[in-house]
Chains A and B, each alone.
Chain A
């Protein structure tokens, strides 16, 4: 399914977090959303999930409106979020965290297969199935957070800074997984601080600054450091 934002406006009280953002994410695509802190990247994801005040514009999934729906209904419509800071349930086991991901599943049955696919992507999670999730390392928790989103078998995957605070080796694991997730046909919207890696991976990357779309970059721009830096200070 295709996720479309059309002139999205997010406003917290008197503060405009996102101003007129339009973008589209099609199945089998990764769209990057990069830019400095406070650019409105996370607000965009929260708005899609029905967790931020949308002041204007449209959010649609294959033409069906998502705006104004509750978070749980957006999730059940096939949009999964990997939240910033992972938001793992530390006191639950790894498996219970994964079972929570099933809450948004649209079809009955097939949960075991979905678990297996997640384990194939992140083998470390299978090994720690019965452990308390709070005991996992940050990198393992991030893999669990992505796996938890995937077991719902969403059509659209939103990720909010999945590489934040991770060791370089784990960042590779996460970015490789994202490529595999794209190959499986999901539409992926990736919010990241690691601009260069994101631009290299994504089909398109939008640079957001002050709530507005400033520039769109393609993978070929990943080596062009000047262009990247320029985009941030535009």
Chain B
């Protein structure tokens, strides 16, 4: 096992990216009790937007703008066409529906762009290193961590300081009572889906820097790992979901970087085995308090 500072930096930045994905998935789960399996395809669509922008030689800002536009438009379409009509259905129906959306988007990408994929080069300048205290750290590692922190901080402000944030938190705790108090279901769900989409676009940008080859299965495996992380942390609260996402991202990045190649191919098996173990020991997740909200008479 070889551990370098770059390995740790990579692990921290992957942890940050996974934390953003976990929060994105957790936000929608909070208000809809729906695990959006198609979340990875939103990221994939954003990555293709970046790849097309670099193919067309668009300036960086235009590529980023296109990425946000594509991901947010797709999120909104998902909400309008899938989530809203199916909202009263059982969780199983909704989960299967998001599987369908995931494979639909992946197939469309396959038809339009082919299996070989495209290269997104727009932000690749971030792959060059900074020398910090005699240690080489790739810029993207630092940028990813800073962007993650900024996004999580902004989300926290939204959730705590604004009324729509308060409504989102309340809806995640008790949707029925929230609606009885006048909280508008569609507005809350729409907001959660959009914020979740915003995070997906940010993740698309950060991931394409490290993995510039964008294929139709881009971010698919990451999504599955993050889903495990979200379950690990506890699904319906932003902070545990963040910690869960970060933990699994850090573990994945650290082991992937530190283990020799002939062992790191088993990495995902180890990760999922660890997740199963955690769920057996702590079914409510690693980072949830239990019994904290008991009602008193």
Within residues 82 to 97 of chain A, which ones have a CB less than 8 A from any CB in chain B? 83, 85, 87-92, 96
Q: Judge whether B181 is part of the interface by a CB distance below 8 angstroms.
A: yes
Q: How far is the CA of A152 from the CA of B174 in the complex (A)?
A: 19
Q: Judge whether B271 is part of the interface by a CB distance below 8 angstroms.
A: no
Closest to A167 in B: B297
For B173, list chain A residues within 8 Å (CB). Answer: 89, 91-92
Within residues 119 to 177 of chain A, which ones have a CB less than 8 A from any CB in chain B? 134, 136-138, 141, 148-149, 152, 165
Q: Judge whether A215 is part of the interface by a CB distance below 8 angstroms.
A: no
Q: Judge whether A117 is part of the interface by a CB distance below 8 angstroms.
A: no
Structural contact, B295 and A90, CB atoms closer than 8 A: yes
Q: Judge whether A211 is part of the interface by a CB distance below 8 angstroms.
A: no
For B297, list chain A residues within 8 Å (CB). Answer: 137-138, 165
Q: Judge whether B258 is part of the interface by a CB distance below 8 angstroms.
A: no
Structural contact, B174 and A87, CB atoms closer than 8 A: yes
Structural contact, B180 and A51, CB atoms closer than 8 A: yes
Structural contact, A134 and B182, CB atoms closer than 8 A: no
CB distance from B193 to the nearest CB of A (A): 18
Q: Judge whether B264 is part of the interface by a CB distance below 8 angstroms.
A: no
Which size bracket describes the interface of B in this complex?
20 to 34
Count of A interface residues, CB-CB < 8 Å: 34
Structural contact, B180 and A134, CB atoms closer than 8 A: no
Structural contact, B179 and A70, CB atoms closer than 8 A: yes
Q: How far is the CA of A101 from the CA of B180 in the complex (A)?
A: 10
Q: How far is the CA of A102 from the CA of B184 in the complex (A)?
A: 12
Within residues 61 to 79 of chain A, which ones have a CB less than 8 A from any CB in chain B? 70-72, 75-76
Structural contact, A89 and B170, CB atoms closer than 8 A: yes
Q: Judge whether A103 is part of the interface by a CB distance below 8 angstroms.
A: yes
Structural contact, B163 and A103, CB atoms closer than 8 A: yes
Q: Judge whether A49 is part of the interface by a CB distance below 8 angstroms.
A: yes
Q: How far is the CA of A99 from the CA of B166 in the complex (A)?
A: 8
Closest to A88 in B: B295
Within residues 31 to 84 of chain A, which ones have a CB less than 8 A from any CB in chain B? 49, 51, 70-72, 75-76, 80-81, 83
Q: Judge whether A5 is part of the interface by a CB distance below 8 angstroms.
A: no
Q: How far is the CA of A137 from the CA of B296 in the complex (A)?
A: 6
For A75, list chain B residues within 8 Å (CB). Answer: 179-182
Structural contact, B181 and A134, CB atoms closer than 8 A: no
Q: Judge whether A179 is part of the interface by a CB distance below 8 angstroms.
A: no
Structural contact, A91 and B182, CB atoms closer than 8 A: no
Within residues 157 to 173 of chain B, which ones have a CB less than 8 A from any CB in chain A? 163, 166-167, 169-170, 173
For B180, list chain A residues within 8 Å (CB). Answer: 49, 51, 71-72, 75, 81, 83, 87
For A89, list chain B residues within 8 Å (CB). Answer: 170, 173-174, 177
CB distance from B203 to the nearest CB of A (A): 28
Q: Which of B167, B292, B294, B296 is in CB contact (< 8 Å) with A103?
A: B167
Within residues 181 to 230 of chain B, which ones have a CB less than 8 A from any CB in chain A? 181-185
Q: List 21 A-B contacts (CB under 8 A).
A: A51-B180, A72-B184, A76-B182, A80-B181, A85-B295, A90-B295, A99-B163, A99-B166, A100-B167, A100-B170, A101-B181, A102-B163, A103-B163, A103-B181, A103-B182, A103-B184, A104-B181, A134-B292, A134-B294, A137-B296, A137-B297
For the A-B complex with A87-B177, A103-B163 known, give 5 more contacts whose Cβ atoms are closer than 8 Å: A70-B185, A90-B293, A96-B166, A104-B181, A134-B296
